[in-house]
Amino acid sequence: MASHLPRRVTGLVAATFTPLTEEGELNLSVIEPYINYLGKEQDVRNIFVNGTTGEGMSFSVEERKSLAAEWCLRAKGKMDYVIVHVGCLSLKDSMELAQHAGKVGADGIAVVSPSFFKPKTADALRLYLQKVASAAPTLPFYYYHIPTLTGVNLLASDVCKGIKKLIPSFSGVKFTGTDLMDFGLCVKYSQAEHLLLYGIDEQLLTSLVLGANGAVGSLYNYLGRHYNKLLVAFAEGDLDSARACQFNVQVFLAFASQYGFDVALNKQLMSDLSGLNLGPPRLPVIPCPSATVATIAEKCRQIFLQN
Ligand SMILES: CC(=O)N[C@H](C=O)[C@@H](O)[C@H](O)[C@H](O)CO
Ligand SMILES: CC(=O)C(=O)O
């Protein structure tokens, strides 16, 4: 086991989309240019793969392994930190993916709660997370809290209680929720021991005030540079500029929401804005009409190229 402390992830973490061919198969060849784009064009040095944005739950264990291996391989020397999401409905599948993530060189793993049979108590969820973590005991472990998608409404601050004793590799929470009291309690109880990564990009600024250590989200794929300005402004105490950055994102998302902003639209928007060909989403998600994507991409350029 390494004698040094695990490196800490800070700043922006792009939750990557999964590149597919027109036929809906993995398109691994896009991963290397994707990583180059994030580094060079967006100044983003951390990635979170196979999560919500990456439609991770829609892929088979084998596909998820291929993706994790390729992202880790191509990220070497270019990204500072790769977190692989390994949550599944089956505990055994998650354990297999956790072990695999360690073998291919991930810097950390994250796990959502199972969402068909749901844990009824924080205790039950902690025991589940402990099992997954035990398959890769030296890999930094993150709990991924996303109640709107899992339907598991346990407070993250309850899940984190005493978790370090159960999971020695516990390193933090990816908190994708709007309950800022729960988020605040996570920060308070962590006592700076583990990280709080916030996951609702449109209200990142609020989480920074409460002590977020970093941000994981889909918008950092194409608005990384913009969000880096927000982080700098906040760090310098320039709240007017930080708010202006955040409000621009809110104006943009309010516009995009009128068209039903979802992972399909988001992925197609990324293809349009980056020039990468990420392909369609996987069923049951349905692609968005290209005219709609073009309208939203245009709005995005209008807002963010001027500011
Ligand atoms: C539900 C979902 O996908 N949440 C993402 C992260 O967890 C966010 O990055 C959102 O995509 C983003 O905040 C836009 O709503
Ligand atoms: C957005 C996000 O954090 C995820 O894709 O899981």
DSSP states of 123-152 as a string? HHHHHHHHHHHHTSTTS-EEEEE-HHHH--
Question: Does residue 259 lie within any of the structural domains?
Answer: no
CA of 262 to the centre of ligand 1 (A): 9
Q: Which residue bears the tokens 């064009």?
A: 41
User: Which residue's entry shows tokens 């205790």?
Assistant: 123
Pick from 12, 13, 18, 53 the residue to mutate for probing ligand 1's pocket: most ligand atoms within 8 Å of its CB: 53
Q: How many Å lie between the centroid of ligand 2 and the Cα of residue 5?
A: 26
Q: Residue 224 is part of a domain; what is its CATH number?
A: 3.20.20.70
Catalytic residue flag (residue 118): no
Predicted interface score ipTM higher than 0.85: yes
pLDDT recorded at residue 7: 75
SS3 call for 254: helix
**171-206 residues labelled b (16+ CB within 10 A) or e (exposed):** bbbbbbbebbebbbbbbeebeeebbbbbbbbbebbe
- Tell me whether residue 143 is one of the annotated catalytic residues: no
> Domain for residue 286, yes or no?
no
What are 197-213's pLDDT values in tens digits? Answer: 999 999 999 999 999 99
Q: Is residue 207 in a domain?
A: yes
Substitution candidate for ligand 1 out of 16, 57, 201, 255 with most atoms within 8 A of CB: 201
Task: Give distance in angstroms: CA of 13 to centre of ligand 1.
Answer: 12
Q: Where are the alpha helices (DSSP H) in 160-238?
A: 163-166, 180-190, 204-210, 224-235
Identify whether 51 is part of a domain: yes
Residue 45 counted as domain residue: yes
pLDDT at 158: 98
The verdict on residue 134 lying in a domain is yes
Range of lowest pLDDT (2-6, 113-117, 274-278, 302-306): 2-6
Over the chain, what is the mean pLDDT? 96
Nearest ligand 1 atom, CA 263 = 3
Mean pLDDT of 288-305: 97
Look at residue 256 and tell me if it is in a domain.
no
Ligand 2 binding residues, C-beta < 6 A = 15, 48, 51-54, 199, 216-218
> 1 falls in which pLDDT band (50, 70, 90)?
very low
116 domain-assigned: yes
- Give the total number of structural domains in the chain: 1
Task: Supply angle C-alpha 270, 11, 51, rounded to 5.
Answer: 50
Asked if 59 and 28 touch (Cβ cutoff 8 Å), the reply is: no
**Residues with a CB atom less than 6 Å from ligand 1:** 15, 52-53, 146, 149, 176, 199-202, 217-219
> CA 279, CA 258: separation in Å to the nearest integer?
23
User: Rounded to the nearest 5 degrees, what angle is found at the Cα of 111, between the Cα atoms of 109 and 114?
Assistant: 160
Which domain covers residue 35, as residue numbers?
Answer: 12-236
Residues 48, 101: contact at Cβ < 8 Å?
A: no
Contact 28, 74 (CB under 8 A): no
